[in-house]
Amino acid sequence: MWEELLIKLAVSGAVLGGVLNLAGMQTWLERKQSALMQDRIGANRAYFTVPWWLGGGPVNWVLRKLGGLGILNALADVIKLLTKEDIIPAKGNRFLHTLAPFLSVFFALLAFAAIPIGPPLILGGRQIPLQVADINAGLLFILALASIGVYGVILAGLTSGNNLSTLGGLRAASQMLAYEIALGVSLIGLVVCYGTLDMGLLVERQGELLWGWLPRWGVLLQPVGCIVFMTAALAETKRVPFDLPEGEPEIIGYFTEYSGMKFGLFFLTDFVEVVLVAALTTALFFGGWQVPYLQPGGFVFPWGAVVPVPHLAYVGLGLLSFTVKVVAFIWFFMLIRWTLPRFRYDQLMHLGWKILFPLSLLNIAVTSVVIVVGSAHP
């Protein structure tokens, strides 16, 4: 009983730590990647020195190098956010105004509970699933939490006592409505293909081979579903091509009346949601922790070669594969964020309701027909 609890705590601690670190590093990634994409240098000045009794010279050398890479800017950001004055507007609702950022970040972080980060680890005869909560309808759980997450944003907008913030909150609500449906419906085709809502099982079934040589990843079975899902999921993160709730040029956004770390929490939520979307895309469409041709016993190549891999290395490779894919998708979403211009509001609604939604419905119809015909004539 106690062991179970400790194991769960360890796994959830690892997931939480990984997610928060990835989210925190995104401030660095955002600065540096956008700089490289635009032929700039980016943040490279922030650093600090420590006195001799904390290491002195060598530590300072490392700090200077890190500062030159701009990594210490993330630290400076956090110090700034934590030491700023916390302002609650006089017209705002004190309780709900404080609650909103916590709601926002809480549900974004909670969704990671259902995502498997690695293959089951067998340690001392005990099987440990590397997944915080092994929910048999994990996909629904994640979708539900993704929708609840927008409540924080709506609350923030409505309780700030600022008309522009309210507009931001309302935009978030309507955007959520438009894209949540496409998001959910685009995944039904995937559920039809793999026949499960269990995230662990879903990832495991993507390790099988198609026609004996192609990994059975979701993106190969559901290319249209993948594109619709990624578009809708990007809209869920409220980042640039879909940043209408924020709307920097015209309404500043739902978090206008927030300062200090409460604003920081919204900031963090954005980044956590990017990690979440990257992790979901990986888990649902790109094989999760699966490495192509890696079976629990070792690599089994389609031409018959077998390379045995010990169990711990197998688990490690799985974790590595998942992390690499997630980081790659974070990079990709960052690339999109710094490449595409913003949608106009009517274009946003047009894309959500008239393109993505019918497309995902069509995807379900085609997938179902193919599955039924395929099972009738195997």
Partner 1 sequence: MSTLGEQLLHRIRDAHKRRTLTWWERIYLPAIAQGLWITSMHFWRNLFLHIAHRLGLFRDQPASVTIQYPDQRRITSPRLRTRHRLTKREDGTPRCVACMMCETVCPARCIYIVAGEHPDPNVEKVPKSFDIDLGKCVYCGYCVEACPEDAIRMDTQRHDIAAYSRDGMWLDIKELLNPGTRQFNEPPEKFVQLTPSEFRQLPQTPPPPPPGTGR
Q: Which part of the chain contacts partner 1 (CB under 8 A), choosing from 3-11, 33-41, 215-223, 251-259?
A: 33-41
Work out how close the CB of 232 gets to partner 1 at its nearest, in angstroms, rounded to a whole number: 15
Indicate whether 33 belongs to the interface with partner 1 (CB under 8 A).
Answer: yes
**Ramachandran sector of residue 342 (left: φ over 0; alpha: ψ -120 to 50; beta: rest):** beta
* 8 Å CB contact between 274 and 327: no
Six-digit token pair at 131? Answer: 């997944």
Stretch that binds partner 1, among 39-47, 74-82, 87-95, 215-223 (CB under 8 A): 39-47
CB of residue 228 to partner 1, shortest distance in Å? 11
Asked whether position 40 contacts partner 1 by CB under 8 A, the answer is yes
Task: Select from 31-39, 76-84, 96-104, 178-186 the region that touches partner 1 (CB under 8 A).
Answer: 31-39
From the CB of 316, what's the least distance to partner 1, in Å?
27
Q: Scan residues 270-309 and list those touching partner 1 (CB under 8 A).
A: none
DSSP 302: T
**Considering beta carbons, is residue 38 or 83 the nearer one to partner 1?**
38
# binding residues, partner 1 (CB under 8 A): 14
The whole-angstrom separation of Cα 248 and Cα 253 is 6
CA 283, 286, 290, 292: dihedral to nearest 10 degrees?
Answer: 180
Phi/psi at 123 (5° precision)? -130, 115
Residue nearer to partner 1 on the CB measure, 128 or 227: 227
Look at residue 203 and give its three-state secondary structure.
Answer: helix
d(CA 25, CA 70): 11
Out of 6, 41, 123, 369, the only residue in the binding site for partner 1 (CB under 8 A) is: 41
Q: How far apart are CA 24 and CA 22, in angstroms?
A: 5
* Neighbour count for residue 161 (Cβ, 10 Å): 15
Interatomic CA distance for residues 186 and 203, integer angstroms: 17
d(CA 103, CA 105): 6
Q: Which of 41/313 has CB closer to partner 1?
A: 41
Closest CA to 235 of 286, 273, 187: 273
Binding to partner 1 (CB under 8 A): which residues in 316-345?
335-336, 338-340
38 is a contact residue toward partner 1 (CB under 8 A): yes
- Taking a C-beta distance cutoff of 8 angstroms, is the pair 197, 137 a contact? yes
Closest distance between partner 1 and the C-beta of residue 186, in Å?
A: 15
Closest to partner 1 by CB, 145 vs 351, is 351
**The one among 6, 9, 10, 37 contacting partner 1 by CB under 8 A:** 37
Comparing CB distances to partner 1, the nearer of 335 and 372 is: 335
Residue 37 C-beta: closest distance to partner 1, Å: 5
What residues line the site for partner 1 (CB under 8 A)? 33, 35-41, 227, 335-336, 338-340
